[in-house]
Structure 1
Amino acid sequence: MADGDDRQATFGSDGSLETETTPDATGENDFGEEKEANETDGGYSRYVVSSLLQKAVRRSDEEVAAWAAWELARSGYAWNLWDRLNLYVVEDLRAGDEVALLIERYEELATERWEPAEWKGRLCAIHAALAAARARSTREASNADAYFSAVAEIRAEARERGEEPAHDFPVGDLEPDGKFDAVFDGHTGEGSKRGRGTRFFKTHGARVGPEGEDEQSARWQRLAMILDEETEYDADELDRAVEPVDPDDPWGESESDGEGPSEKDATGTSASDGDDEDTGDDGDDDGSGSLSDFAE
C-alpha cells in the first residue's frame, strides 16, 4: 500500500477537505459482511451518520441524535463522534449553555475511564447527544462570523474606493466622544491622555448590564468608593456607579465627559482649584454619619 493510502478524506466544518487516519473500525457489519472503509456497523457511511447527528442536534430531534451517536460509537468512530459533538457546542448551540462542560465530561468518561465502543462508552455517547439535542439550538455564532467577515470585506473595498461603506461594524469608527466613549478610560491610550483615571472608570467604565448590581455588590461598591483615600466621590457619582444601564441604550451616559470632583494627588490634596471639596452629603449633615448611611 502506498504512503497515504490509509488516510481517508473527510470534510471540515467549512466544507474543506481534511484527512484522518482510518480508525480501528474494521470487521463485519451487522449483516456479516466485511465493512468497507468508513462504513458503520449498520452499513451506513460514517460521513452521512456524522452529518445526520449534527442536523438532529440542530433540530432538537433527540431520538435520531441518540441513534447517530450510538452508531458512531459502536462502530469504532468514537473519535469522529466526540470531535463533532464538541464542534456542535460552538456551531449550533446558544452561547453560555452549560452543556459544553457536560459533553466534555461525558467524553472524558467514555475515552479515558472506559472504552468508547463498549457499553459504558456508548451510554456516554447517547447522553452527550441527548444533552446537545435538548439544549437551545442556534446558529448565532456562525451567523455572526459570516456577517462580520462580509462587512470586513465591504469596508476594505469601500476604503480602497475612497467611499463610505454600505455596511459597517456595529461600533463604527470607535472614537472618543462617540457612542462608546465609556471604553476610553485609563486602560486605553486615549483615555490616559484625557486623564480618565479611577473616577471615570468607576462611574462609567465599570457599570453593568440592565439587571444592575445586586444589593450586596452595590453596597460593597459604594463603600469601596467612599473609603478610597485618593478619590472623593459625590452622591451623584456613587449613584451612577451602581445604576444599571438602560436596556434600550446600554452605552448612553448622563455625563459622557466624566467630570466631577477631581482625583487627589499622591499627597491626598485635591488637584482642583476653587470651591471646597464635595463630600457627597447634602450640606446639612455635620459629617458624623456612618459609612453605611452613604452605602445604602
Structure 2
Amino acid sequence: MADGDDRQATFGSDGSLETDTTPDATGENDFGEEKEANETDGGYSRYVVSSLLQKAVRRSDEEVAAWAAWELARSGYAWNLWDRLNLYVVEDLRAGSDVALAIERYEELATERWEPAEWKGRICAIHAALAAARARSTREASNADAYFSAVAEVRAEARERGEEPAHDFPVGDLEPEGEFDAVFDGHTGEGARRDRGTHFFKTHGGRVGPEGEDDQSARWLRLAMLLDDETDYSADDLDRAVEPVDPENPWGDGAPDDEGSDDESDPLSEHESDPLSERDTAGGNGSDDGDADVPGSERHGSLSDFSE
C-alpha cells in the first residue's frame, strides 16, 4: 500500500480535485468500465462511501456500515476504510470501550496477515464496521474539545479587556488552598515548597473513588502506613486515606468526623471492629491520642491479628 501522504487529496488552483489513486484502486468497475480516480467498484465516489461509513456507524445502522466497509475494502481503498474506523474510535466512540481494541486487531489481520481486498480482508472490514456500529456512539470527546477551545478564546479575550471571563475552565485558576488543593503534593513544585510529602499524598492525593479501595487494598494501605518508619499517621489519617471520594464532591477534603462523633453516616463506622481502626486500645492503655499511633509503638502488637 502507498504511504499516507500519497493518499491525500489536494485541490488545484481551479478548484478541481487532484489525487493520486493507489494501484489497488485501479481497474474496472462492476460494469466493465475503467474506474475513474476515487471511484469504487460499485461506481460510487470513495469520499461519499467513506463519509457514509462513519455516519452509518454513528447512527448504529449495521447493514449500511457493513456495506460501506465492504465496498471500500474490495475497491482498493482499505486504507481509507481503516482510517475512517480509527477516526470513529477517537471521534465518536465512548471512551473506554473495548471496541477500539477489536478494530485495531481486525485492521492488523486484514492488512498484515491477509490482503485487505481479498475475502479474509473484506470479512475483517465487515467485522470491524459491525463492531463499531454496535458500540455506543457519542460525540463527547469532540464536543468537549469544541467547548474547551471556545472557553480558551473567551478567557483570553476577557484577560485582554481586564475582565473576569463569562465562561471559565472547570478548574478555575487552579491554585493551592482552592477546590483542587489535593493536586499540590510533592509531585508539583508548589507542593514540594509546602513540604507536602508522603503524608499529604497518602491522606489526600492518593485517595480513590467514589467506589473507594476494596477491603484487601484498604487493608494493605493501612498496614503500609502503620509500618512506615519515616512517616507518622494518626487514626484520622488512616481513616481518611481509605475513605471513598464523595461522588458529588470528589475534591473535598474527606476528613472524618470530629473525634467522639457518633454520626452513623460515617462510611467507615462499619469497620469499627478492624484491629487497625481500634489500635488506640491495642496497647491496653486506653489512650485516644492518635499521634501516639506510629510504627514502633507498643500498639504494633495488634499487627499480628493480620497474619492470618
Quickly name the TM-score band, shorter chain normalised.
0.7 to 0.9
Partner Cα separation in structure 1 for residue 45 and residue 36 of structure 2: 9
Higher helix share: 2
Within-5 A mapping of 1:172-211: 172-211=172-211
Q: 1:51 to 1:288 in 2, by over 3 A?
A: closer
Partner Cα separation in structure 2 for residue 242 and residue 80 of structure 1: 49
User: Equivalent residue for 1:268?
Assistant: none
User: 1:291 corresponds to which letter in structure 2?
Assistant: L
Cα-to-partner distance string for 1:255-274 (whole Å, 9 max, x where unaligned): 59xxxxxxxxxxxxxxxxxx
User: Equivalent residue for 2:292?
Assistant: 279
1:23 pairs with 2:22:
yes
Partner Cα separation in structure 1 for residue 146 and residue 248 of structure 2: 26
Identity of aligned residues (%): 84
Gaps of 5+ in 1: 1-5, 12-16, 257-275
Partner Cα separation in structure 1 for residue 201 and residue 129 of structure 2: 44
Partner Cα separation in structure 2 for residue 83 and residue 18 of structure 1: 20
State the secondary structure of the residue aligned to 2:299.
Answer: coil
Deviation of 1:215 after TM superposition, in Å, equals: 1.4
User: 1:36 corresponds to which letter in structure 2?
Assistant: E
Q: 1:138 to 1:86 in 2, by over 3 A?
A: same
User: Equivalent residue for 1:229?
Assistant: 229
Q: Residue 9 of structure 2 contacts residue 20 of structure 2 at CA under 8 Å; is this kept in 1?
A: no
Q: Residue 243 of structure 2 contacts residue 254 of structure 2 at CA under 8 Å; is this kept in 1?
A: no
User: 2:303 corresponds to which letter in structure 1?
Assistant: L
For the aligned residue pairs, the C-alpha RMSD in angstroms reads 2.6
Q: Residue 186 of structure 1 contacts residue 192 of structure 1 at CA under 8 Å; is this kept in 2?
A: yes
User: Equivalent residue for 2:147?
Assistant: 147
User: Equivalent residue for 2:270?
Assistant: none
Cα-to-partner distance string for 1:175-211 (whole Å, 9 max, x where unaligned): 0000000001111111111111100000000001201
Deviation of 1:279 after TM superposition, in Å, equals: 3.1
Q: 1:288 to 1:244 in 2, by over 3 A?
A: closer
Partner Cα separation in structure 2 for residue 253 and residue 287 of structure 1: 28
State the secondary structure of the residue aligned to 2:218.
Answer: helix
Partner Cα separation in structure 2 for residue 149 and residue 175 of structure 1: 21
Deviation of 1:36 after TM superposition, in Å, equals: 1.1
**TM-score (normalised: structure 1):** 0.83
Q: 1:10 to 1:61 in 2, by over 3 A?
A: farther
Gaps of 5+ in 2: 1-5, 257-288
State the secondary structure of the residue aligned to 2:191.
Answer: helix
Q: Residue 110 of structure 2 contacts residue 121 of structure 2 at CA under 8 Å; is this kept in 1?
A: yes
**TM-score (normalised: structure 2):** 0.80
Q: 1:279 to 1:293 in 2, by over 3 A?
A: farther
Q: 1:48 to 1:10 in 2, by over 3 A?
A: farther
Q: Residue 115 of structure 1 contacts residue 121 of structure 1 at CA under 8 Å; is this kept in 2?
A: yes
State the secondary structure of the residue aligned to 1:278.
Answer: helix
